[in-house]
Amino acid sequence: MTEQPLSPNQSAPATGRFGTLRSRSFRAAAAAAVALTAALGLSACGPSGLVPGNPVAQAPSAASKTQPIDFTTPTADLDSAAQSVVPGIVNVNTELGLQNGEGAGTGIVLTSDGTVLTNNHVVEGATKISVTDLGNNQTYDASVVGFDRSDDMAIIKLSNASGLQTATLGDSDKVAVGDPIVGVGNAGGRGTPTAAQGKVTGLNQSITASDDSTGSSEQLTGMIQIAANIQPGDSGGPLVNSAGQVVAMDTAASTSKGFRFNNVGGGQGFAIPINKALGVAKQIEAGNSSDRVHIGDTAFIGVSVSTANGGALVRGVVQGGPADQLGLAARDVITAVDGTSVTSATELTNAMDQHHPGDNVTLHWTDATGQNQSAQVQLATGPVG
């Protein structure tokens, strides 16, 4: 591992006030399983949040392009590119209050007043978000403006921020297989930015990631596949070309922790093209909700669930929450919300995404004795996502 001091104002290595940019060898993790970088989970999963599972990577579509992994020798150009992007990124730290845990990830600064792009799974389950800007070394409280769970993207807003340096964005449509790239982020949640050099090995890839704890799943499509040592904590960080332009957002990592992708060779990662991410970001910033995009606070019934035959099996109930007020208990099965059938944990999550705190909904469930129940309840404000 090499150490390179960095400066927020220089692309060439120079002494800086926010740590060192540490290059990571790709070879060291080439045999590790690919995994979704689940916000560096530092505790066991509770009512929400991503936990280790066994997702499967789908076969590439006919339009996709791939090539064998090529172990890239670190280059000065990519080192310089990594240095130049650091002032335009942030470290994202979350408190997972319902899980009694913490999380860490990365974000890309889009506006000087603190609009930041990151992965939804970086902030999912958060009860508090704090963000450290690497351009000025200041820490801010942050809130979620909106998220697209199905595409694993979120926009967060820093409180009382101004004058932030923004990331230089490129055109992901111009990315080609074989292009040299470098991922930059908060690897391991240690706070010091690190760089992972590699190459693009595939375009237009599709991955299905599932959570064995809750039974929920998501399909990420149109992904850029890379050979680079992306790690937990890098999620939401920039994938940068040799010109120092952000061409994608790191989302999946080569690591034995977090979500693992079977049927995909070791040492590979996946990133969301920046053009796609910006399209979602603009929709969120405009306040345009849809069946995929949720704007504002997250509605909450106060249960942890997994998929069961006939619905979402209640595994735990948050004391004092809406579900607790209705008398729901572990082993009950939620079957519908406002007349819309719920056949899985994912469908319950999707149903909640269509509502906001304060909404009144009718919940239908089958209790542990087999009796069908229904009642109206007012949704509370819950953790993010």
CATH of the domain at 325: 2.30.42.10
For the cut 80, the answer to whether the pLDDT of residue 258 exceeds it is no
**Residue 353 counted as domain residue:** yes
Rounded Cα–Cα distance for residues 385 and 252 (Å) = 19
How do residues 172-200 score in pLDDT, each as one tens digit? Answer: 999 999 999 999 999 989 899 999 999 99
Residue written as token pair 């093209």: 273
Residue that terminates a domain, selected from 243, 262, 285: 285
Question: Are 257 and 324 in the same domain?
Answer: no
Question: Are 363 and 265 in the same domain?
Answer: no
Question: Are 8 and 140 in the same domain?
Answer: yes
**Residue 291 counted as domain residue:** no
Q: Among residues 48, 121, 133, 250, which one is catalytic?
A: 121
Question: Are 281 and 301 in the same domain?
Answer: no
Question: Are 331 and 256 in the same domain?
Answer: no
**Residue 257 counted as domain residue:** yes
Question: Are 302 and 270 in the same domain?
Answer: no
Question: Are 277 and 336 in the same domain?
Answer: no
210-219, 232-241, 374-383, range with the lowest pLDDT? 210-219
Question: Are 250 and 326 in the same domain?
Answer: no
How do residues 138-156 score in pLDDT, each as one tens digit? Answer: 999 999 999 998 899 999 9
Q: For strand 20-24 and strand 194-210, is the pairing parallel, antiparallel, or unpaired?
A: parallel
How do residues 23-80 score in pLDDT, each as one tens digit? Answer: 443 333 322 223 333 333 332 222 222 222 222 233 334 344 444 434 345 677 899 9
Helix (H, G, I), strand (E, B) or coil at 341: strand
CA dihedral 101, 107, 109, 114 (to 10 degrees): -10
Give how many domains the chain has, as a whole number: 2
Environment class of 76 (CB within 10 Å of its CB; exposed 0-12, middle 13-18, buried 19+): exposed
Question: Are 325 and 230 in the same domain?
Answer: no
Question: Are 252 and 176 in the same domain?
Answer: yes
Give the model's pLDDT for residue 60: 39
CATH of the domain at 237: 2.40.10.120
**Residue 278 counted as domain residue:** yes
Per the structure, the complete domain to which residue 357 belongs is given by 297-381
Give the model's pLDDT for residue 264: 52
Question: Are 199 and 132 in the same domain?
Answer: yes
**Residue 292 counted as domain residue:** no
Percent of the chain's residues with pLDDT above 90: 57
Contact 255, 205 (CB under 8 A): no
Amino acid type, 280 = V
**Residue 140 counted as domain residue:** yes
| CA proximity to 247, closest of 150, 344, 182 | 182
Give the model's pLDDT for residue 21: 52
How do residues 188-231 score in pLDDT, each as one tens digit? Answer: 898 999 999 999 999 999 987 654 444 456 789 999 999 998 88
β-partners of residue 163 are none
Q: Among residues 172, 235, 304, 344, which one is catalytic?
A: 235
Q: Among residues 133, 148, 151, 152, which one is catalytic?
A: 152
Element (H, E) at 65: strand 65-66
Question: Are 267 and 376 in the same domain?
Answer: no
**Residue 290 counted as domain residue:** no
**Residue 183 counted as domain residue:** yes
Rounded Cα–Cα distance for residues 216 and 158 (Å) = 30
Residue 309: pLDDT band (50, 70, 90) is confident
Residue that terminates a domain, selected from 285, 313, 329: 285
| CA proximity to 102, closest of 165, 191, 28 | 191
152 is catalytic: yes
Give the model's pLDDT for residue 259: 41
For the cut 60, the answer to whether the pLDDT of residue 13 exceeds it is no
